[in-house]
């Protein structure tokens, strides 16, 4: 049993920790090759092997401008997805936030919102960043809602930027300033 103090960032139902090479399992492989999971991700265009997933995880380990974390449930210590902060622009003090919940039975339960909130708190309080940005395909309502639940605002729209399901879709651009961060759920 993992103790709560051992986690990098700890929430009520999820905790975030480094993504480990041991996380590159058949489950992770399944996420990265499931068309429903990757429907709104650019990785969907290239089949992923366990070896190239492991290479990515290894390359992300210890990067100074990107923090790559596993999203895990306290209940059962189950790895359900990943969240990334970065790249960080240290001059202008902003960073991107991107997220994947790979376990479909965990969709719609607020785990993404909790993970985003934890990363935002870390970015604003610990790293002293002043702004976070995220983007989503317009039809990806669940992802947009998770970011908006934490206080991200829609800051822009690029019409027809992406193709999903064979049709052009808009790119929704979201942003959150440190002073607008809603730390409480």
In the Cβ-directed half-sphere of 126, how many Cα atoms lie within 13 Å?
Answer: 10
Give the global pTM. Answer: 0.93
Report the pLDDT value the prediction gives residue 115, as an integer from 0 to 100.
98
Choice between 183 and 90, residue whose per-residue pLDDT is larger? 90
Helix (H) or strand (E) holding 15: strand 14-18
Confidence of residue 185 (pLDDT cuts 50, 70, 90): low
pLDDT digits (tens, 9 = 90+) for 104-161: 999 999 999 999 999 999 999 999 999 999 999 999 999 999 999 999 999 999 999 9
Report the pLDDT value the prediction gives residue 62, as an integer from 0 to 100.
86
Phi, psi of 94 (to 5 degrees): -140, 165
Least confident of 44-58, 120-134, 143-157, 164-178: 44-58
The CATH class for the domain spanning 4-180 reads: alpha beta
Phi, psi of 116 (to 5 degrees): -60, -45
In the Cβ-directed half-sphere of 47, how many Cα atoms lie within 13 Å?
Answer: 1
Confidence of residue 2 (pLDDT cuts 50, 70, 90): very low
Confidence of residue 184 (pLDDT cuts 50, 70, 90): low
Nearest-CA neighbor of 17 among 82, 62, 110, 64? 82
For residue 69, is pLDDT > 60? yes
């Amino acid at each position: 049993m993992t103790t709560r103090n051992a986690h990098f960032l700890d929430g009520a139902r999820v905790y975030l920790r480094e993504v480990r090479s041991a996380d590159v399992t058949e489950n992770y492989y399944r996420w990265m090759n499931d068309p429903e999971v990757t429907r709104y991700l650019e990785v969907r265009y290239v089949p992923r092997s366990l070896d190239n997933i492991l290479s990515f995880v290894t390359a992300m380990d210890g990067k100074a401008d990107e923090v790559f974390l596993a999203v895990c449930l306290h209940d059962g210590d189950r790895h359900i997805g990943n969240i990334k902060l970065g790249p960080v622009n240290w001059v202008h003090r902003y960073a991107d936030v991107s997220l994947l919940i790979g376990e479909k039975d965990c969709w719609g339960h607020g785990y993404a919102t909790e993970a985003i909130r934890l990363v935002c708190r870390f970015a604003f309080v610990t790293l002293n960043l002043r702004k976070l940005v995220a983007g989503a395909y317009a039809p990806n309502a669940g992802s947009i809602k998770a970011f908006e639940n934490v206080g991200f605002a829609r800051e822009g729209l690029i019409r027809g930027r992406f193709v999903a399901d064979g049709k052009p879709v808009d790119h929704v651009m979201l942003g959150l300033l440190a002073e607008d961060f809603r730390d409480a759920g």
